Structure 1
Amino acid sequence: MGARDDTTEPTPRRALVIGLGITGRAVARALRARGAEVAVVEDHPTPRTEAAARSLAVDLLAAPSADELERAVAGVDAVLPSPGVPDAHPVFAAARRLEVPVRSEFDLARAWDDRPVVAVTGTDGKTTVTTMVTSMLIAAGRRAVACGNTDVPLVEAIDDPATDVFVVEASSFRLGHTHRFRPAVAAWLNFAPDHLDVHDSLEAYERAKARLWADLPADAAAVVNLDDPVVRSHRPVSARVVTFGLDPDQRPDATVRAGRLVAADGVDLVGVDELPRALPHDLSNALAAATVARCAGADVEAVRGVLRSFTAPAHRVQEVAVVDGVRWFDDSKATTTHATLAAVAGFDSVVLVAGGRNKGLDLGVLAGTVPPVRAVVAMGEAADEVAAVFARTGLPVEVVRTDMGDVVRAAADLARPGDVVVLSPACTSFDWFGSYAERGDAFTRAVRTLHDATERS
């Protein structure tokens, strides 16, 4: 374990954790292990959360009243909200009134461990780039682990003394409540409207993302996507800046030239045709990951090897099958309009499957997918919103309110040879499914059923 950073705050003696999900449990467990008294607020208690509270030996405040919450905040040294707790939650107003600091798991980890942190944020692409960077560092001989906005929160990852470097997927939920964050390398991939069901406003979401670079030391590297005007506008002045992008007019350090990926220092990495997949967002993610990994100490050969072999995590423009000359893709992870626009940009003629539960976004942006989108299947709670957007474009639109099997059959009826059908919902899955992965798996099963039936006919 590293030594404690002298500029950090001490471990709270009494803490109030809000929410008992993966991160809430990890935070409570880490605090208890360091001798803190911990209480947990759970607004929607279940037998599972009650059992978790007992196993952690923490006090559980189940759906507390306003007065009970106020008293709980008054009795602690810090409030630690779990990711996804809405900005409008009354705990934040109570903490402000009582002048109790609000902190994140990043603050705790920094207080307890000084090993290097590499951080990646962005509306889209965080998991892919975090995974690529981790693989590149491991290939370079570093004992790296991906953590943060994953199944392993940073406060849990630091328990392993064998790790050399933590590659942190940094969500806005974590960054927004972080008091002081000082990664050795920090990349901001892109910015677009998202999580407006949690953040008070788009401006609040942007401020949360910008926390990534707010406290960087002079010897840190900020990796900046010059293609994104919002990211570009937050370019830090306190740290070393290394840029990447596809727009030659922005003059990025790392880019694509003459069909080759070129590193920030001018080193030729790989040809575009050597990548397993080369959609526009694949190129951007590859440049970002290579730049971050090189800044974190990975050698060129390690970076090249991962670029040539990397397979994106599931449900991210993942090809499922080819049926009667139509290619089918699962992009269920696309829960924002920005992600959907990026997904279809690499194709010529698309039947788009979109909809689900809108998280406060303006779905009107989806009209910008036309072309290449030429037909649409609108599904789920947001089906009418999606249909209204595309009705104005004159495209054929089918509305499906039943299940994924009917969605796939409707898309098959609209598709013609040479098309791609892309499930890229621009919405969350929580109307019909428990997760984007469950939604993607249902789509994949339905497509394979269609494929098998076509093969038999």
Structure 2
Amino acid sequence: MSGAPILLVGFAVANQAVCAQLTERGHPVVATDDAADDQLRSQAAGLGIDLRERPAVDDWLALVADARAVVPTPGLPESHPALSAAMAAGTPVVSEFDLAQRWDSRPTLAVTGTNGKTTVTVLVAAMLEASGIEASVAGNTETPLVEAIRDPQSAAFVVEASSFRLGHSQCFRPSVGAWLNFAPDHLDVHASLDSYRRAKAALWRRADEHTTAVVNRDDPIVVSHTPGKGRLVTYGLSEGDFRVSGGALWAGSEKLADIAELRRSQPHELSNQLAAAAVAMAGGAHLQGVKTVMREWSGLPHRMMLVAEHGGVRYYDDSKATTPHAVCAAVRSAGPAVLIAGGRNKGLDLGPLAEVADGVRAVVAIGEAASEVERAFAGRCPAAPAESMDEAVRLAAERARFGDAVLLSPGCASFDWYGSYAERGDHFAQVVLQMIGGSP
């Protein structure tokens, strides 16, 4: 890439890392942002480039026409005028994954899926490290892949591959690619559910004889996209190369762990651990390293984490659950529950929440989507709105019975009341502990 500039659409963390790499390699860059501020201007100046602020719709045609390629920020809506201008001009759109793979040839182990990506990614990296393979976690994390490749010590990169990046990738081909599951999500970014599915499927679009595909046999959509080339490794709760059988997790004929000795043993967590073992071993991890990590794994924050147990009621923070699919998995795992759900809908149909109504004693609906949550459960179980997290926890505690769980599993984004799902989960935990006197 040389001559004409590379156009960066959006100038947040990922594209700032892209910009630094491009300028270091002598490529001219033009950066744009729809919501520029003094901090972004300062960061652009520090990289020696100008920042085009809030381009008008008519400006995009000229910006794209002058560019050699367009790099969209992850999460740029498919309806953005920069993307339609690129299509009209025939200017290629590429992702940071494409650039990173062009600049670095070390192995990449990529994980995608609607739910479980972060958990599996972190597990895989830990399993590689426990096997003596230095690995870096990158992608849909605090470290973009183009930044991670700066580390000369890493022997492999474990990449959390979101649809936002995969959908714009033209040549990204991971050494190992795992697709965990598929359910509606991110319809505030993708033009349709089919577009979201195609973005996920891009993980295996360029599979060849050197690629290993890790396929979840329990998800029919994932199975339907199994690539026709390369090595195939399967996993599932009952069938697959990696599977659950006889109260244990297995890799072929090798026992990985007895379920009774695992700290996290709900069905979706077993599936995540099987997926991680399959990816890690395809990437060179040894059996003992995988076993060690499985037995020590205690989970990530805000994913079905027990905050407290008080008066026979368990309080769980599952704030990371931002889709109905994730909420349903949580309710099935928790047992009888009073569910706190809602927030900012990501363009999804919340109707599927009703699938677990039989396991929900009552619902407390919060945030912008409170009325949608109430409608999903109408006629199936009692539902009431709350205007704050304090009120939501109080109402849920009043409705819970001995043996129940109070479950914060919102099924929506957090950005109406909070800056992140982590902030939402932390506030829930704080309110719970204040309510019960700070002790379980």
Please, what TM-score do these two structures have when normalized by structure 2? 0.98
Stretch moving more, 187-196 or 340-349: 340-349
What letter is aligned with 1:285? N
Aligned pairs for 1:270-289 within 5 A: 270-289=257-276
In the alignment, structure 1 residue 443 sits paired with structure 2 residue 434 = no
What letter is aligned with 1:374? R
| CA-to-aligned-CA distance 1:26-76 (integer Å, 9 cap, x gap) | 111111111111111101112221221111212211111123221111111
What is the rounded CA distance, in whole Å, between the counterparts of 1:218 and 1:146 in structure 2?
25
What letter is aligned with 2:277? A
What is the rounded CA distance, in whole Å, between the counterparts of 1:68 and 1:237 in structure 2?
43
| CA-to-aligned-CA distance 1:249-308 (integer Å, 9 cap, x gap) | xx3221100101011x32111001111111111100010001111111101000000000
What is the rounded CA distance, in whole Å, between the counterparts of 1:219 and 1:38 in structure 2?
34
What is the rounded CA distance, in whole Å, between the counterparts of 2:232 and 2:366 in structure 1?
43
Partner of 1:407 in structure 2? 392
Aligned pairs for 1:40-439 within 5 A: 40-246=31-237, 248=238, 251-263=239-251, 265-393=252-380, 395-401=381-387, 403-439=388-424
Structure 1 unmatched runs, 5+: 1-9
What letter is aligned with 2:362? A
| CA-to-aligned-CA distance 1:139-188 (integer Å, 9 cap, x gap) | 00001011000000000000111110000000000000000121111000
* Per-residue deviation, 1:311: 2.0
* Per-residue deviation, 1:392: 2.3
Secondary structure of the 1:224 match is strand
Alpha-carbon contact 1:104-1:179 (below 8 Å) kept: yes
**% identity of equivalent residues:** 51
Secondary structure of the 2:333 match is coil
Stretch moving more, 126-135 or 266-275: 266-275
Secondary structure of the 1:102 match is coil
What letter is aligned with 1:120? V
What letter is aligned with 1:130? T
Aligned length: 440
Secondary structure of the 2:364 match is strand
Structure 2 unmatched runs, 5+: none
Alpha-carbon contact 1:12-1:78 (below 8 Å) kept: no
CA shift in 2, pair 1:454/1:131, >3 Å: closer
Please, what TM-score do these two structures have when normalized by structure 1? 0.94
* Per-residue deviation, 1:348: 2.2
What is the rounded CA distance, in whole Å, between the counterparts of 2:317 and 2:34 in structure 1?
34
What is the rounded CA distance, in whole Å, between the counterparts of 1:454 and 1:119 in structure 2?
40
What letter is aligned with 2:315? W
What is the rounded CA distance, in whole Å, between the counterparts of 1:11 and 1:392 in structure 2?
62
What is the rounded CA distance, in whole Å, between the counterparts of 1:12 and 1:436 in structure 2?
42
* Per-residue deviation, 1:209: 0.2
What letter is aligned with 2:433? R
Secondary structure of the 2:15 match is helix
What is the rounded CA distance, in whole Å, between the counterparts of 1:421 and 1:13 in structure 2?
57
Stretch moving more, 286-295 or 39-48: 39-48
Partner of 1:7 in structure 2? none
CA shift in 2, pair 1:420/1:138, >3 Å: same
In angstroms, what is the RMSD of aligned CA positions?
Answer: 1.2
What letter is aligned with 1:354? A
After the TM superposition, list the runs of 4 or more consecutive aligned residues in structure 1 that deviate by more than 3 angstroms. 10-13
Alpha-carbon contact 2:365-2:385 (below 8 Å) kept: yes
